[in-house]
Amino acid sequence: MSQKPDYGIDAPGVVFSFLGGGALLVIAGITVFKLVASNPWHRLGISAVITGAVFAVEGLLMLLYSKYGKFLHRDRMLAMHNWKGDEQVLDVGTGRGLLLVGAAKKLNSGRGVGIDIWSGKDLSGNAMEKTQQNLSLEGVHGKTELRSESACEMSFPEGSFDVVLSNLCLHNIPDDVGRILACREIARVLKPGGVALVSDYKNTRQYARIFKQRGLEVTRSGMSYWATFPPLRVVKARKSATQQ
């Protein structure tokens, strides 16, 4: 049987905490409701069941996003650029390479680079070798490369990329200073006329503001509710053809 690419489960600790904690709350609530006759305990049991069910549903929605929704969201993001095939592409926080692979399949003479620090708490099985394996299985290893480096301090010269992509990465930077640096780095490495597509479930107003401060033309999409959980927005930032 041929091996298939594996793009992991996003925020695995959160997903399994929701699923496990939710199940325990539901079981505890039902147990209390059955064994204790007094009304205050009945109300407590019902509250536990409802809270546990909410947690479990959230965990299931996050799991569905990891297995199905993020592929649809990837396609939504890539459709926001008119691909020519010769682009130089950067995927910031590439994880196990989902966006990088999707972009690379649209390239002919172009090339894609993925950077990450490969944190296991952000994505299950997150490791450079796993990403490289996906690139090989998807048949794009010849036009892609991986580098281990931070979004806040990139090694690329100014104006290196036609397209910069990032999904669910920048919110993992724990402070405003780091997120500001990352957005400035994205703007810096964009070529004149280049476009950045940055997707996240929070802080997108901040990203948009920083890009505007760097002189980029910015739009911010509405939330995607049907394919992503939590709902995601995409910030699209374009550097003018005359901007350095």
Q: What is the pLDDT of residues 212-229, one digit of tens each?
A: 999 999 999 988 877 899
DSSP state of 118: -
Confidence of residue 232 (pLDDT cuts 50, 70, 90): very high
Query: What pLDDT is stored for residue 1 in this prediction?
Result: 52
Domain residue spans of the chain = 12-68, 72-238
Bridge partners (DSSP) of residue 235 are: 198, 220
Summarize pLDDT for 180-212 with one digit per residue, the tens. 999 999 999 999 999 999 999 999 999 999 999
DSSP state of 157: P
Query: What pLDDT is stored for residue 38 in this prediction?
Result: 66
Tokens representing 111?
């090339």
For residues 19 and 58, give the distance between their C-alpha atoms in angstroms, rounded to a whole number: 8
| Stronger pLDDT, 173 or 227, i.e. the higher one | 173
Give the helix/strand (H/E) hosting 229: none
- Looking from the CA of 203 toward its CB, the CA atoms found within 13 Å total 22
pTM higher than the cut 0.85: yes
Summarize pLDDT for 63-104 with one digit per residue, the tens. 999 999 999 999 999 999 999 999 999 999 999 999 999 999
What is the second-level CATH architecture of the domain 72-238? 3-Layer(aba) Sandwich (3.40)
For residues 225 and 239, give the distance between their C-alpha atoms in angstroms, rounded to a whole number: 29
Query: What pLDDT is stored for residue 42 in this prediction?
Result: 74
Query: What pLDDT is stored for residue 244 in this prediction?
Result: 64
Query: What pLDDT is stored for residue 37 in this prediction?
Result: 63
Q: What is the mean pLDDT of residues 112-125?
A: 92
How high is the mean pLDDT of the chain?
93
